[in-house]
Amino acid sequence: MRIGVLTAGGDCPGLNAVIRSVVHRALTGHGDEVIGFEDGFKGLLDGHYRPLDLNAVSGILARGGTVLGSARLERGRLREAAETAAELAQQYGIDALIPIGGEGTLTASRMLADAGMPVVGVPKTIDNDISATDRTFGFDTAVTVATEAIDRLKTTAESHQRVMVVEVMGRHAGWIALESGMAGGAHGICLPERPFQVEDVVKMVEERFSRGKKFAVICVAEGAHPAEGSMDYQKGVIDQFGHERFLGIGNRLAAELEQRLGKEARPVILGHVQRGGTPTAYDRVLATRFGWHAVEAVHRGEFGMMTALRGTDVTMVPLAEAVTQLKRVPTDRMHEAESVF
Amino acid sequence: MRIGVLTAGGDCPGLNAVIRSVVHRALTGHGDEVIGFEDGFKGLLDGHYRPLDLNAVSGILARGGTVLGSARLERGRLREAAETAAELAQQYGIDALIPIGGEGTLTASRMLADAGMPVVGVPKTIDNDISATDRTFGFDTAVTVATEAIDRLKTTAESHQRVMVVEVMGRHAGWIALESGMAGGAHGICLPERPFQVEDVVKMVEERFSRGKKFAVICVAEGAHPAEGSMDYQKGVIDQFGHERFLGIGNRLAAELEQRLGKEARPVILGHVQRGGTPTAYDRVLATRFGWHAVEAVHRGEFGMMTALRGTDVTMVPLAEAVTQLKRVPTDRMHEAESVF
Amino acid sequence: MRIGVLTAGGDCPGLNAVIRSVVHRALTGHGDEVIGFEDGFKGLLDGHYRPLDLNAVSGILARGGTVLGSARLERGRLREAAETAAELAQQYGIDALIPIGGEGTLTASRMLADAGMPVVGVPKTIDNDISATDRTFGFDTAVTVATEAIDRLKTTAESHQRVMVVEVMGRHAGWIALESGMAGGAHGICLPERPFQVEDVVKMVEERFSRGKKFAVICVAEGAHPAEGSMDYQKGVIDQFGHERFLGIGNRLAAELEQRLGKEARPVILGHVQRGGTPTAYDRVLATRFGWHAVEAVHRGEFGMMTALRGTDVTMVPLAEAVTQLKRVPTDRMHEAESVF
Amino acid sequence: MRIGVLTAGGDCPGLNAVIRSVVHRALTGHGDEVIGFEDGFKGLLDGHYRPLDLNAVSGILARGGTVLGSARLERGRLREAAETAAELAQQYGIDALIPIGGEGTLTASRMLADAGMPVVGVPKTIDNDISATDRTFGFDTAVTVATEAIDRLKTTAESHQRVMVVEVMGRHAGWIALESGMAGGAHGICLPERPFQVEDVVKMVEERFSRGKKFAVICVAEGAHPAEGSMDYQKGVIDQFGHERFLGIGNRLAAELEQRLGKEARPVILGHVQRGGTPTAYDRVLATRFGWHAVEAVHRGEFGMMTALRGTDVTMVPLAEAVTQLKRVPTDRMHEAESVF
């Protein structure tokens, strides 16, 4: 068999581990051939690809990023791809395509599958918000990076009597904020799933200070936002080019708390450090398993499916099911954390 | 309510996170009182305990070890404890006991429960071999430490043309070897679940060298052993006191490979570094959730049960069920790894 | 002897290691007594202190922050302290005071010494900008944290074709930017010591992209600034309270590069994570040595001095000399780095 | 100019950083050409080399090991090399050779230099025992790895009442043991520089236990040994092949302490993890500076010299001077540590 593989969408620790695993399993386990398309679907459309043998994936297991590159593709070109899918598969002589990507990629993969390309998807998102799988690789690394930052911030906040607002990734789902907040022992957590009252945050901090505590750490998902009327949440500031720029929730909440509490409040915006670098052991194992099972699914002819973790097992679920709705933090999980506003 | 908590058995990163979580949930969520028994069941029998308030658990979330101490107890004294369980509970005025421990502790807990003490257990083992739960805290930390070691060893092996044999924990189950071997990209893995032929290891290494590779890393669980007749596996060497000492499988396999391959083979025995130190974010979250749910179970009166992870949920399972059989690495999981001998 | 110790100024990994070392050496080596003043000079003035025995410093070696707390003090109160210094020493019955702090603290210490208090200072700054010592503890930790961030950012930049601007600490001296930029392999470094031409940064990035490279990482000290006329560097933006806020150089440079290059450029502001958390091994050793030598100096009666690293030796230098001028990055050191603009 | 570079001797984190720096500085700064000999002096003698351009060293800064490989060479062949040195230089058309290596390599380099090859050496040893330089790269990484292990062992020892004996590298000099012991807060340190009395170790542990402490950690250099008569230190045990094998000091001391104290004492032998893997930020900076200065020395024609750190400066010292005597831990430095036996 000849299998194509590509990575699309934002960066995510574990992408290389999947690529390596696909190549290892396909070549060693089945005697297949594997080619890698460069820069995601762009490489598929433009015919940029290269053969991947064992040497090509040697030493990449622990490396962040993706050796195949990734690029966003306009929706129009993707539709184009879907239309010519079967033709493309034939053109490259591939018997199956394994796209590794997030929600957009999986939707595109489904379109390709519907259009006749034999596709097996591998889900990827550091946000952990794909509902068909218990976990996605990259998430554990993001939580680990955020937790290490909170660990460091706690000691410095403690010594210097201030409030720290840590903004972590998570535009639509607050998993990273929830788990890094729990792991780091943040005193409050703000999630996109539940608009927060600034007043509640203020009260929590004041209550802590009144108990003699000298600091507070608040972990905020980038997609968290105040309840209506709770805080003046105007959309932007004017930067040096006269462009209106949005100051994220971390910056805004810190300014708001400083104003209301009369105490130093400092924002820390973790940003892209959460999505780069060497993956954790957990993510490497999950990514490796996903790659292995994707190749097995190809050989069983289970197309239009993607890999998913369910409990301790990796199983296959229909792509159609995978992308219907976002997996958001349920109320139950919020209860388990210290204090989700 | 008044709740007692204790930690028993070997060390495990996350113990403090459970203690902290029990105290936080009980005090803040329910207005309970919590006391901590020192050095495991010994403190229970000898009446060594202290009250645990929020200050007592401040700053311990990320710390390894257990602030309550732990000690092994002779079987006889445990039976004694079971017999006087109800009495003890009354004596200390506790409405429930939350023992945190491994297989032995959970068995003891069941005895206490049968004898009338209101018990809710929390399972703990870095080996991940308790069958009633998908995962135990401490395991992810152990795998992470072992993976970091393999990462380091691979670069040094690569530059200097040698074979490295890494011995990791796991006496009866090979989970740490399996996952750290996969995460570290070990070229071969030996598990207690499957006696290995030394000949197969030798062949793998020779095959690698014949392909121009200059090194190999083999990850061995401490409980792995050669198939009968595969290797002279005499039980001991004589140390400086004339005592017979057992050289572990890591040392033996390295010596054997050096002899058979005529190449340098070095053992690295990771030992106790795998079970100490700050827990990973994953383990802190799981430990925190276990503590939270144990307190909830106490308030629902669900005694004789223990916390367990099933998929993404923490649920309660009967202690009786928990300890009936060891969770060992199944054949399916072995297939997913590079090469399990 | 009875020795007082205090920590003042901003947080710095290694403060606890100094405190622990002072206590160990004084108690074990000399049979002294040690008291710790709380919240820096404030504790000295207000009489807030506690005895420090071996148990009080047990387990703090690897912990970030300071168990004694730290607080900024208004200049007025410090002068007050200086005036009553001898009296204060007598009041607390201390034979010597060991203040651990940065430039401000050392200046204050000098005032106290001049006013008759027997003082031995220990220098502290993550910025490494005190000229009398080769290195200060805290610096290595800050560089390590910044380097790990750059490592992570490089893989994500590489996969997604963008420019990353990492802002690290260093208001007046660029040591952290220089060393983390070198260690992380940043493609350009901007230092406070040398105003940069934005045009040069733009050219470097364009030249990289023209060579087929897909990303660039620029490491900027918070105190770096563009040469006059090089970039519109207006002082502020208007935030939600109508307050003018300064967007730091990281944010500004990223916006500027995005505008000029027509490519995504993202700022990452590391902030306080650089000054909290567990110190590196290097910093723990240096801090421990400083504490040890401070106690020895006290016993030799060398007052008005501070500890300093010179080559591999820890020696004593006059406080007067220590704070005369800032240690800035010399041109020689800039040459050794890839490309300092 | 055409410059040859090679790495020889044991692995050491930072080797790749030197290679990269040599290539960057030579190509970008001087327009030179660089070739890399494979597997140390072997590649030089056998004519195995490859050109090194910017792409060849891309992404290796943070990687452990050496992309050029390394191999030990018999003394005889080295003499052969020295004799044909000038000829070899001419044969490869190189104007200078930069060998990166430890004591043996530097001695060989001196022979080559004496024989007429234009050589600039770069010293390398994780042991930090080369007297002409304040520090060598690789040492900080080794100390960091050992310190992290001690950190982890302390929590597990504390919870379970045992003695831990950590054996770290250092055959002839105890720098790693000294600094990781200080950084990790080990309760005792044994160095090759000073034969220890087992009795003293026993007393220290007993004294700790009598003060209510529940554990002790002892950090032992692999080259440390008991004073004569202090402990039965027979040379070997008999392994499965009837070969006499030497159990290192870590294993022996743990057995001895267990016997004498009647308490569990566990050895942890860190081994090769100390010399592999990604270098610390400190080591990357030092290695990069060494590479840069080696190229500059080549262009100034300063042959027969090697790079050295003196205070904060990198300078050049004669190879002859560099290898005359081992830098051992002086008594002064022992005093600064808790308790060197």
Per-residue pLDDT tens digits for B5-63: 999 988 999 999 999 999 999 999 999 999 999 999 999 999 999 999 999 999 999 99
The chains found to touch C (3+ Cβ pairs under 8 angstroms) are A, D
- R_g of chain C, CA atoms, integer Å: 22
Mean pLDDT by 10 residues, chain D (341 residues): 95 97 97 96 93 95 93 78 83 96 92 93 96 96 98 84 94 97 97 96 94 92 92 67 78 92 92 94 98 98 97 96 88 93 91
CA distance C68 to chain A (A): 8
Would you say residue B52 lies in a domain?
A: yes
CA closest to D54 among chain C residues: C211
CB-based contact B288 A312, cutoff 8 Å: no
Q: What are the start-end ranges of the H helices in C121-248? A: 139-160, 175-184, 198-210
CA distance A187 to C140: 29
Phi, psi of D77 (to 5 degrees): -65, -30
CA distance C68 to A316: 56
CB pairs under 8 A between A and C: 142
Would you say residue D61 lies in a domain?
A: yes
Within 8 A of D161 by CB-CB distance, chain B residues are 69, 71
Residues B308, B159 share a domain: no
- Let me know the angle formed at the C-alpha of A122 by A117 and A123, rounded to the nearest 5 degrees: 125
In this complex, the residue of D65, D145, D155 whose CB is nearest that of residue B277 is D155
Residues B101, B31 share a domain: yes
CA distance D328 to D128: 9
Are residues B170 and B222 in contact, defined by beta-carbon separation less than 8 angstroms? yes
- The answer to the question of whether A194 is labelled as a binding residue is no
Query: In chain C, how many domains are there?
Result: 2
Residues C247, C194 share a domain: yes
What pLDDT shows up at residue D253? 94
Residues A149, A184 share a domain: yes
Are residues A52 and A19 in contact, defined by beta-carbon separation less than 8 angstroms? yes
Tallying the residues shown for chain D, one arrives at 341
Could you tell me which residue, C75 or A269, shows the higher pLDDT? A269
CA distance D270 to chain C (A): 16
**Entry pTM:** 0.96
Across the beta sheet with D49-51, the strand order is D49-51, D33-37, D2-7, D96-101, D120-123, D305-310, D313-318
CB-based contact B64 D155, cutoff 8 Å: yes
Residues A146, A260 share a domain: yes
What residue type is D253 in one-letter code? L
The chains found to touch D (3+ Cβ pairs under 8 angstroms) are B, C
Task: Give the Å distances, CA to CA, from A263 to A218, A230, C51, D8.
Answer: 14, 20, 30, 57
B127 catalytically annotated: yes
CA distance B335 to B331: 6
> 3-class SS at D309?
strand
CB pairs under 8 A between A and B: 85
Residues in chain A with pLDDT values less than 70: 233-236, 239-240, 245
CA distance C279 to C145: 10
pLDDT band per the 50, 70, 90 thresholds, residue B86: confident
CA closest to D332 among chain C residues: C313
CA closest to A293 among chain B residues: B336
Are residues A77 and A44 in contact, defined by beta-carbon separation less than 8 angstroms? no
CA closest to B9 among chain D residues: D160
Residue B124, both tokens: 């703990």
* Environment class of C13 (CB within 10 Å of its CB; exposed 0-12, middle 13-18, buried 19+): buried
What residue type is D153 in one-letter code? L
The answer to whether residue B75 scores a pLDDT higher than 80 is no
Which of B247, B276, B305 represents a domain boundary (last residue)?
Answer: B276
- pLDDT per residue as tens digits for the range C85-125: 888 888 999 999 999 999 989 999 999 999 989 999 999 99
Q: How many CB atoms lie within 10 A of CB C135?
A: 20
What pLDDT shows up at residue A240? 65
Q: What is the CATH number of the domain that holds D229?
A: 3.40.50.460
The answer to whether residue C151 scores a pLDDT higher than 60 is yes
Give the residue numbers of D marked as catalytic.
Answer: 127
| Range with lowest mean pLDDT among C15-19, C68-72, C301-305, D253-257 | C68-72
In this complex, the residue of C156, C234, C239 whose CB is nearest that of residue A64 is C156
Are residues B217 and B166 in contact, defined by beta-carbon separation less than 8 angstroms? yes
CA distance B95 to B35: 11
- pLDDT per residue as tens digits for the range B196-230: 999 999 999 999 999 888 899 999 999 999 998 88
Would you say residue C154 lies in a domain?
A: yes
Are residues A199 and A340 in contact, defined by beta-carbon separation less than 8 angstroms? no
Are residues A73 and A42 in contact, defined by beta-carbon separation less than 8 angstroms? yes
CB-based contact A183 B140, cutoff 8 Å: no
The chain C residues in contact with chain D (CB within 8 A) are 24, 61-62, 134-135, 140, 143-144, 146-147, 151, 179-180, 182-185, 280-282, 284-285, 288-289, 292-293, 310-312, 314, 336, 338
- R_g of chain D, CA atoms, integer Å: 22
In this complex, the residue of A64, A255, A275 whose CB is nearest that of residue C240 is A255
> 3-class SS at B278?
coil
The answer to whether residue C235 scores a pLDDT higher than 60 is no
Residues A123, A44 share a domain: yes
Q: Which residue has the tokens 């009338």?
A: B116
In this complex, the residue of C182, C312, C338 whose CB is nearest that of residue D134 is C312
Would you say residue C341 lies in a domain?
A: no
Within 8 A of B62 by CB-CB distance, chain A residues are 151, 184-185
Closest CA to D223 of D186, D167, D170, D166: D170
What pLDDT shows up at residue B240? 65
Residues C126, C6 share a domain: yes
Q: Sign of dihedral through CA atoms B13, B18, B20, B21?
A: positive
Residues C146, C271 share a domain: yes
Tallying the residues shown for chain B, one arrives at 341
CA distance D205 to D207: 5
CB pairs under 8 A between B and D: 142
Closest CA to D273 of A278, B177, B150, B186: B150
* Residues 6+ positions from A246 with CB-CB distance below 8 Å: A235, A236
Residues C238, C110 share a domain: no
Residues D129, D8 share a domain: yes
- The answer to the question of whether D237 is labelled as a binding residue is no
In this complex, the residue of A151, A183, A314 whose CB is nearest that of residue B285 is A183
Q: Sign of dihedral through CA atoms B168, B169, B173, B178?
A: negative
Q: D interface mutation test: which of C60, C144, C284 has the most D CBs within 10 A?
A: C284
CB-based contact B285 A62, cutoff 8 Å: no
Q: B interface mutation test: which of A336, A338, A340 has the most B CBs within 10 A?
A: A336
Would you say residue A56 lies in a domain?
A: yes
CA closest to C67 among chain A residues: A159
CA distance A61 to A294: 17
Within 8 A of B245 by CB-CB distance, chain D residues are 237, 255
Indicate the DSSP class of residue B213.
Answer: -
Domain that includes residue C316, residue range: 2-138+279-324
CB-based contact A160 C277, cutoff 8 Å: no
Would you say residue D340 lies in a domain?
A: no
Residues D8, D23 share a domain: yes
Within 8 A of B160 by CB-CB distance, chain D residues are 10-11, 70-71
Average pLDDT over residues B224-249: 76
Would you say residue C334 lies in a domain?
A: no
Q: What is the CATH number of the domain that holds B129?
A: 3.40.50.450
- pLDDT per residue as tens digits for the range B250-305: 999 999 999 999 999 999 999 999 999 999 999 999 999 999 999 999 999 999 99
Q: C252-255 long-range CB contacts below 8 Å, 24 or more apart? A: C252/A240, C253/C165, C253/C190, C253/C198, C253/C201, C253/C218, C253/C220, C253/C226, C254/C163, C254/C165, C255/A239, C255/A240, C255/A241, C255/A243, C255/A245
Residues D186, D211 share a domain: yes
Would you say residue C332 lies in a domain?
A: no
CA distance D14 to D275: 10
The helix/strand count (H/E) of chain D reads as 13, 13
Are residues B104 and B112 in contact, defined by beta-carbon separation less than 8 angstroms? no
What residue type is D189 in one-letter code? I
CA distance C22 to C42: 20
